[in-house]
Amino acid sequence: MNVSEIFGSMAFNDVVMRERLPKTTYRQLKRAISENQPLPIEVANVVANAMKDWAIEKGATHFTHWFQPMTGITAEKHDSFISPTPEGGVIMEFSGKELIKGEPDASSFPSGGLRSTFEARGYTSWDPTSYAFIKDGTLCIPTAFCSYTGEALDKKTPLLRSMSAINSQAKRILKLFGASDDIEVTTTVGPEQEYFLIDKEDYDKRKDLIFTGRTLFGAKPPKGQELEDHYFGTIKPRVVAYMKELDEELWKLGILAKTKHNEVAPAQHELAPIYTTTNIATDHNQLTMEVMKKVAKKHGLVCLLHEKPFAGINGSGKHNNWSISASDGVNLLNPGKSPEDNAQFLLFLAAIIKGVDEYQDLLRISVASPGNDHRLGANEAPPAIVSIFLGDELTEILDSVEKGYKIDKRKRSIMRIGVDFMPPFAKDNTDRNRTSPFAFTGNKFEFRMLGSAFSIAATNTILNTIFAEELSRFADELENAMDFNATLSEIIKRTIREHKRIIFNGNGYDEAWVKEAEKRGLLNLKSTADALPHILDEKNVRLFEKFNVYSAGEIKSRYEILIENYSKVINIEANTMLNMAKKEIFPAVSAYTKELMDAATAKKALKIANAPEEKLAALLSEKAENIYEATKALEEVTEKAHSVADEQKRAEYYHEVVIPAMEALRTVADEAETMTAEKYWPFPTYSKILFSV
Ligand code: ADP
Ligand code: MG
């Protein structure tokens, strides 16, 4: 296979556009994209036609507007290219109008009350900054999805707005440092994706995996991850074959799949792409997750993207590597070599420190989900407390800037912004802490709180927006400064002084950090139910409105969708547990108990004294009773949850009452599992699932 030949073969990317579009059309399209202007319909017609011809050559028969509604996954509705001719035949057509705008019936997508059902129409509009691609014989056109009155009903629209916000604000700063007028700024992202691969036969036997994506029962296997022999271990042949096909499928779509390896937990793996602009990275990550699942099926496997498929075993996350770069190719989070570079870098760094401190709640909310609640703070993922890791050297540099002391004995000078060289620091030194939620890794930040199943859109929307906000404040001050260098220096010093509490280089898994963070006044929003309402805090609404990222109505609707989703997910999990406990687990325990009793009776008839079967049956009978009671208790509270009218209160009830009842049922069922003969256990155990691929 020739990788460079298949790479992007299914994407209508820049290479294809250059090749297939008339020069003027190509230039008009590029200009419309860079100036964020709508494309004239005549031009759109030409682009649409070229896209269609290309797609048909690749075997496509249909097209779809591909969008990202609030379900967290992607949506598509396929239309064929056919158009009838008077002679009774068909020709293949695709117009500029069809490319630019679609009007799917939107009534069944979550809107959080934004769109009343009598106005069920929504529309999708083409996002020309992300390449169209062919998937399963369909030309997919990346689109944004809005209500008929223009409110965002998707994840792409706010992300695009946030990218535009950061571009405008970062440009103001760069111009103050002498950048040319036509500079553009964009954020870049490389999301590392973790996942589990299990056998499809095992999956099919477990209702919990089928309905909830995670196991709700399961005793610890004799061997877990304690030997740490899976991490970076030799990849098994079946998994190798899977990864190979996955890479190829992703490459065809123009996705820069780069690194693959085994992760810490048994059956856990990771894929990392090469970074690209945030918008494309987001689309590509959605596609990656979809392709991961699809390719797995072909190999008799199932790819689990849930944050915590197995209790007691590491869950899966997604590391969002994020940076900012200018159109001249310069990474703005690279400390650089000259004093001017250093000053600019320190200003950007200050903006991040301030932004993360002031909007800890938003970053926490962007990773809030019932699945991720199992990970954050569970000593396998960062705590629910947001903090920044900078490494000792960079922290010392900031300290010297703040206090004005000398850092380099040989140079015998204090760090003066814009004048002195920053002492070089080792990049390696910045990447050792794996416990930090937000770590500086040399020339980018790695946000590690995301769960594996998440769309990365919300996190990056928030990162971009809070960063735009801080840059705009700095720009306001600097643009009016009498003495640029003095003001710059003052801003950086002040920011470090006021916001250094957010910097923490120690072990984020340590209990002591929780106490220390509390002393520092940092937020610790432990659960999704705790975190979500903060999105409605006045400061947050103001922030989003200032940059037109979300309107107040859009924020409210998102909160409602998320809080309702939380309760729904837990409710499905509770119902699945009840079903499995009643229909599978209890009958299994009971059947085995009967076998034991029969054996004991037989022994008695033969006058064999002290049948251990009888003792075991008594113990199991006790477990069965516990299961019965715990099932009843869970049933009662699940029923009660439905009667809590207020959405927020209901979510809290699920968190505080239903989840503990689920845990109680699981505990007794898992105990029974360890005592029940294997042939009676109704579904594959952890040992079987985790070690069979
Ligand atoms: P690490 O070893 O620290 O995880 P890597 O160099 O392996 O770092 O990169 C991890 C991820 O970060 C990759 O997906 C990579 O493409 C991405 N990345 C690297 N540089 C940047 C950048 N400037 N912006 C965004 N992501 C980046
Ligand atoms: Mg990494």
- Contact between residue 285 and residue 455 where contact means Cβ atoms under 8 Å apart: yes
Nearest ligand to the CA atom of 430 = 1
Rounded CA separation 343/347 (Å): 6
Residue 272 CB–ligand 1 contact under 6 Å: yes
Question: What pLDDT was estimated at residue 412?
Answer: 39
Looking at the structure, tell me whether residues 482 and 615 fall in a common domain. Answer: no
Residue 331 CB–ligand 1 contact under 6 Å: yes
Rounded CA separation 455/318 (Å): 10
Q: Which CATH number does the domain housing residue 194 bear? A: 3.30.590.10
Question: What pLDDT was estimated at residue 419?
Answer: 62
Looking at the structure, tell me whether residues 400 and 481 fall in a common domain. Answer: yes
Distance 68 CA to ligand 2 centre (A): 26
Looking at the structure, tell me whether residues 443 and 354 fall in a common domain. Answer: yes
Rounded CA separation 289/257 (Å): 12
Distance 443 CA to ligand 1 centre (A): 9
Rounded CA separation 321/275 (Å): 8
Question: What pLDDT was estimated at residue 427?
Answer: 59
**Segments of 517-620 assigned E as strands:** none
Atom of ligand 1 nearest to the CA of 192: 14
Q: What are phi and psi for residue 210, nearest 5 degrees?
A: -65, -45
Look at the alpha carbons of 425, 426, 427, 432 in this order and tell me if their dihedral is positive or negative: negative
Q: Which CATH number does the domain housing residue 81 bear? A: 3.10.20.70
Q: How far is CA 66 from CA 58, 134, 448, in A?
A: 18, 11, 28
- Contact between residue 433 and residue 382 where contact means Cβ atoms under 8 Å apart: no
Residue 186 CB–ligand 1 contact under 6 Å: no
Tokens of 600: 């004991």
Bridge partners, residue 132, by sequence: 12
Distance 446 CA to ligand 2 centre (A): 7
Looking at the structure, tell me whether residues 259 and 322 fall in a common domain. Answer: yes
- Contact between residue 78 and residue 138 where contact means Cβ atoms under 8 Å apart: yes
Looking at the structure, tell me whether residues 543 and 570 fall in a common domain. Answer: no
Residue 273 CB–ligand 1 contact under 6 Å: yes
Residue whose CB lies within 8 A of the most ligand 1 atoms, among 444, 450, 464, for a mutation test: 444
Distance 289 CA to ligand 2 centre (A): 18
- Contact between residue 360 and residue 386 where contact means Cβ atoms under 8 Å apart: yes
Looking at the structure, tell me whether residues 95 and 232 fall in a common domain. Answer: no
Domain containing residue 652: 565-691
Please report whether residue 420 resides in a domain. no
CA of residue 38 relative to chain centroid, distance: 30
Q: Kindly state the helix (H) or strand (E) to which residue 542 belongs, with its residue range.
A: helix 538-546
Residue 460: closest CA among 149, 186, 260: 186
Please report whether residue 533 resides in a domain. yes
Atom of ligand 1 nearest to the CA of 256: 16
Sorted by sequence, the CB contacts under 8 Å of residue 568 that are 6+ apart come out as: none
Which residue is closest in CA terms to ligand 1's atom 19?
Answer: 275
Atom of ligand 1 nearest to the CA of 431: 3
CA neighbours closer than 13 Å in the CB half-sphere of residue 618: 5
- Which of 523, 550, 577 is a domain's end point? 550
Question: What pLDDT was estimated at residue 1?
Answer: 79
Nearest ligand to the CA atom of 442 = 1
Looking at the structure, tell me whether residues 188 and 303 fall in a common domain. Answer: yes
Atom of ligand 1 nearest to the CA of 191: 14
Residue 189 CB–ligand 1 contact under 6 Å: yes
Looking at the structure, tell me whether residues 463 and 585 fall in a common domain. Answer: no
Write out the DSSP string of 247-263.
Answer: HHHHHHTT--EEEEEE-
- Contact between residue 544 and residue 550 where contact means Cβ atoms under 8 Å apart: yes
Rounded CA separation 147/538 (Å): 25
- Contact between residue 443 and residue 333 where contact means Cβ atoms under 8 Å apart: yes
Please report whether residue 524 resides in a domain. yes
Distance 343 CA to ligand 1 centre (A): 24
Sorted by sequence, the CB contacts under 8 Å of residue 421 that are 6+ apart come out as: 338, 339, 342
- Contact between residue 260 and residue 270 where contact means Cβ atoms under 8 Å apart: yes
3-state secondary structure of 322: strand
Q: Which CATH number does the domain housing residue 633 bear? A: 1.20.120.1560
Nearest ligand to the CA atom of 318 = 2
Please report whether residue 557 resides in a domain. no
Question: What pLDDT was estimated at residue 309?
Answer: 97
CA neighbours closer than 13 Å in the CB half-sphere of residue 14: 4
Question: What pLDDT was estimated at residue 413?
Answer: 47
3-state secondary structure of 594: helix
Looking at the structure, tell me whether residues 574 and 496 fall in a common domain. Answer: no
Which residue is closest in CA terms to ligand 1's atom 22?
Answer: 323
The radius of gyration of the chain from alpha carbons, rounded to an integer in Å, stands at 28
Q: How far is CA 186 from CA 33, 173, 456, 480, in A?
A: 13, 14, 16, 25
Nearest ligand to the CA atom of 325 = 1
Residue whose CB lies within 8 A of the most ligand 1 atoms, among 250, 275, 278, 432, for a mutation test: 275
Question: What pLDDT was estimated at residue 546?
Answer: 98
Looking at the structure, tell me whether residues 97 and 168 fall in a common domain. Answer: no
Rounded CA separation 66/73 (Å): 11
Bridge partners, residue 123, by sequence: 146
Q: Kindly state the helix (H) or strand (E) to which residue 319 belongs, with its residue range.
A: strand 317-326
Distance 164 CA to ligand 1 centre (A): 23
Rounded CA separation 233/427 (Å): 26
Q: What are phi and psi for residue 191, nearest 5 degrees?
A: -90, 125
Distance 278 CA to ligand 1 centre (A): 13
Atom of ligand 1 nearest to the CA of 189: 25
Please report whether residue 674 resides in a domain. yes
Please report whether residue 505 resides in a domain. yes
Question: What pLDDT was estimated at residue 671?
Answer: 97
Look at the alpha carbons of 357, 363, 368, 371 in this order and tell me if their dihedral is positive or negative: negative
Q: How far is CA 24 from CA 205, 220, 231, 622, 655, in A?
A: 58, 64, 52, 80, 58
Q: 276-277 and 185-199: which strand pairing?
A: antiparallel
- Which of 154, 186, 215 is a domain's end point? 154
Q: How far is CA 597 from CA 19, 252, 611, 669, 677, in A?
A: 78, 61, 10, 20, 14
Low pLDDT (below 50) residues in the chain? 409-413
CA of residue 309 relative to chain centroid, distance: 16
Tokens of 170: 């970062």
Which residue is closest in CA terms to ligand 1's atom 14?
Answer: 190
Tokens of 435: 């416990």
Residue 323 CB–ligand 1 contact under 6 Å: yes
Q: What single-letter amino acid sits at 258?
A: K
- Contact between residue 52 and residue 92 where contact means Cβ atoms under 8 Å apart: yes
Q: 62-66 and 138-147: which strand pairing?
A: parallel
Rounded CA separation 443/660 (Å): 43
Looking at the structure, tell me whether residues 246 and 343 fall in a common domain. Answer: yes
Tokens of 230: 């899976």
Looking at the structure, tell me whether residues 186 and 90 fall in a common domain. Answer: no
Distance 318 CA to ligand 2 centre (A): 9
Name the residue with tokens 């996190």.
459
3-state secondary structure of 439: strand
Geometric angle at alpha carbon 312, from 310 and 314, rounded to 5°: 70
Please report whether residue 418 resides in a domain. no
- Contact between residue 100 and residue 126 where contact means Cβ atoms under 8 Å apart: yes
- Which of 498, 520, 550 is a domain's end point? 550
Question: What pLDDT was estimated at residue 331?
Answer: 95
Sorted by sequence, the CB contacts under 8 Å of residue 506 that are 6+ apart come out as: 513
Residue 188 CB–ligand 1 contact under 6 Å: yes
Number of domains in the chain: 3
Tokens of 609: 């004294």
Name the residue with tokens 């439905």.
642
Name the residue with tokens 């095992």.
202
Look at the alpha carbons of 235, 239, 245, 250 in this order and tell me if their dihedral is positive or negative: negative
Please report whether residue 417 resides in a domain. no
